Chain A
């Protein structure tokens, strides 16, 4: 089969002993090494998809059970910040893709610039998330930490908050089920934000390495695989955004 070129190339490689320093000895060729790491990275991402899949499934079931409460709770989210964050994250995916291209073209300056832009856009995303989270804390909408049914049943009971948001009062059974929505909201966006924080930390490390010229000598595996991780985090948000923010906005 032609889809295992590494085996065919093995004979070629064995003929001459010169090879790049980054080629490990248990691989026949740099290409086999690159394909193997790419495969392994995808296996890791599949476990991540399954992990987030559990959260998405829980969300779908409860959304079907308590649809009106989920609509009401969803309308508590700020659609402007949600849309802005989607744009920020897509932009960061674009700068990351350009970073991979720069590494492949061995352009050190452009690579560092792209990584820094991705880093900054990631921080902007977390900044906007902080604004949204602090509004939820202020309004007592954080289940298990800072949650008050009263804030849904009788929003006017807190005059300062009411002055700012003018939320409509909800029936008790409806208000109770918004707790489930907000639990899922914080579990899903929180887990997503944790992935962002880990990604940003690795980006910081990569910026230093890239400045030292680590990724612009032909060995782009690390940048490429980090790119896969970053795009994966973007994909999770691509589904979180319509599911959490955009339920029946026309109502």
Chain B
């Protein structure tokens, strides 16, 4: 365990010496192709009757696509811990705000929706 941590710290230090992480184009090509496939999937899925799962599947595919864009196109996977924390904190706050607003709307009209 401690060896693992030591190794990571070393990798971090080595990373720090580099000017910049450069993502190779092949990664972008793979992500690009995956995003197009998921776009086709989400259109196809909307034509299949899945009841309550239709919006869930649509949003799940959207979340996967957005995650790929954030991690690879926006390079968060290779960025500093500060940036990672910032992105995560923003997402968390966003979900809290949406969640609490929706909880308010649902609980006020309890039984009437």
Contact = CB atoms under 8 A, between A and B. Distances in A.
Asked if chains A and B come from one complex, the reply is yes
Provide the main secondary structure of the chain A interface.
Answer: helix
Q: What range describes how many residues of B lie at the interface?
A: 35 or more
Contact of B25 (A50, A98, A238, A242): A98
Contacts of A34: 20
A61 interface: yes
Contacts of A3: 12, 80-82
Interface residues of A, number: 56
B48 A42 contact: no
A177 B43 CA distance: 25
Max chain A C-beta neighbours (<10 A), residue from B24, B32, B73: B73
A241 B93 CA distance: 23
Interface of A: 2-3, 5, 8-9, 30-31, 34-35, 38-39, 42-43, 45-46, 49-50, 53, 56-57, 60-61, 64-65, 79, 83, 86-87, 90-91, 93-94, 96-98, 101, 104-105, 218, 220, 227-228, 231-232, 234-235, 238-239, 241-243, 246-250
Interface of B: 9, 12-13, 16-17, 19-20, 22-25, 28-29, 31-32, 35-36, 39, 42-43, 46-49, 54-55, 58-59, 61-62, 65-66, 69-70, 72-74, 79-83, 86-87, 90-91, 93-94, 97-98, 101-102, 105, 113
